[in-house]
Amino acid sequence: MSAYASIVFDMDSTLSGIEGVDWLAARRGPEVAAAVSSLTARAMAGEIALDAIYGERLSLIRPTAAELAALARAYTANLAAGVGTALQRLRGAGIALALVSGGIREAIAPCAAVLGFSDRDIHAVHVHVDADGGYAGFDASSPLVTQHGKRDIVHALALPRPVMAVGDGATDAALRPVVDAFAVYTGFVRRAAVVCAADCEVQSFDDLMEIVFR
């Protein structure tokens, strides 16, 4: 029997080993890659607020439609071991699943669909492209471009309780006031400050299943 009625997942470095914005930045050369990676690491460790760096990173990268499609393929090619089987088991047990990410929806959605998430269960940030496929900005009004945006989204979803959140970063740890447990996923990256904020640590989806179905 499951200990939770709902589970909220992060995408980057949780369901997939890709950090999407960093992956895109690597296509812009070593200087941009280093600058963006540093900003991402500091935000995910809770050293700076996501609000302060979200637009800055995208303005450095200016991702195209073709690059977002390539990122979607990279997400799918780098899924966490056992994630597909684990999600099937969770759904089979009647657990409600949601994907809440500060990443780019246009890249995340195709991979999320492979994992069985419906469009209504995917919450991420829209990036706009023009008629030629060039970068044309992002949805700056999305709560998910802020440090506590995931908390606002999950609170509004009113998921069946008890709710567990699973993720790797500070924005996932910020969910703790609106969920019943936060499991930090460290299968790809381990951030000490986030581990300290978590109720439990899981290094694999097998670990997660042991906690959910204990």
- pLDDT score recorded for residue 119: 96
Please pick, among 10, 22, 172, 207, the residue that the annotation labels catalytic.
10
pLDDT at 46 over 90: no
119 flagged as catalytic: no
pLDDT tens track for 58-99: 999 999 999 999 999 999 999 999 999 999 999 999 999 999
pTM for this predicted structure = 0.94
- pLDDT score recorded for residue 43: 86
pLDDT tens track for 148-170: 999 999 999 999 999 999 999 99
User: Rounded to the nearest 10 degrees, how much is the dihedral formed by the CA atoms of 43, 137, 117, 167?
Assistant: 0
pLDDT tens track for 89-129: 999 999 999 999 999 999 999 999 999 999 999 999 999 99
HEC sequence for the chain: CCCCCEEEECCECCCECCCHHHHHHHHHCHHHHHHHHHHHHHHHCCCCCHHHCHHHHHHHHCCCHHHHHHHHHHHHHCECCCHHHHHHHHHHCCCEEEEEEEEEHHHHHHHHHHCCCCHHHEEEECEEECCCCCEEEECCCCHHHCCCHHHHHHHHHCCCCCEEEEECCHHHHCCHHHCCEEEEECCCCCCHHHHHHCCEEECCHHHHHHHHCC
Do residues 101 and 10 lie in contact, with contact meaning Cβ atoms separated by under 8 Å? yes
pLDDT band at 2 (very low <50, low <70, confident <90, very high): confident
**Structural domains in the chain plus CATH codes:** 6-212 (3.40.50.1000)
70/59 Cα distance (integer angstroms): 19
12 flagged as catalytic: yes
pLDDT tens track for 163-193: 999 999 999 999 999 999 999 999 999 999 9
Mean pLDDT of the chain: 96
pLDDT at 49 over 90: no
- pLDDT score recorded for residue 45: 86
Helix axes 54-61, 30-44, angle to 10 degrees: 160
